[in-house]
Amino acid sequence: MVLNEQSGMYPDKPRHLSTTSPTDQTVQLNHLLKVAGAVVLDANKTWAELWNEFKQCVGRDGNALPQAPSFVPACGWPEFIEKVSLLKHYLDSIHRICNGQR
């Protein structure tokens, strides 16, 4: 790779770090934290919905109760599976955000 003389960017330096001031980086970090916070709220909301479906079948120790009926989600299996997939998406998004991946 060749030095990009217009931006002063070296090939081993990411462009987003080489062209922003410390103030811009602080603004970007604050924005990133707000985005991560919003994703966490959505993940927690989805988890609460799933837990409301399961909690009747689970004892205080986290194990299934012996007398628990076979589980059928009130929202139906398609929506339940969608919520589980959505929760996975939210958690994967948090992971990517925290690791600086896009």
Q: Which tens digit of pLDDT belongs to each residue from 53-90?
A: 877 777 787 677 777 677 778 888 888 888 988 999 99
Q: Yes or no: say if 15 and 7 are a contact pair by the CB < 8 Å rule.
A: yes
Q: How many helices (H) and strands (E) does the chain have?
A: 3, 0
Report pLDDT digits (tens) over 42-53.
998 898 888 888
Please give the model's pTM, rounded to 2 decimal places. 0.58
**pLDDT tens digit sequence for 1-44:** 444 445 455 555 555 555 668 888 899 888 888 888 889 889 98
DSSP-based three-state secondary structure for 4: strand
Tell me the chain's radius of gyration from C-alpha atoms.
22
pLDDT at 13: 53
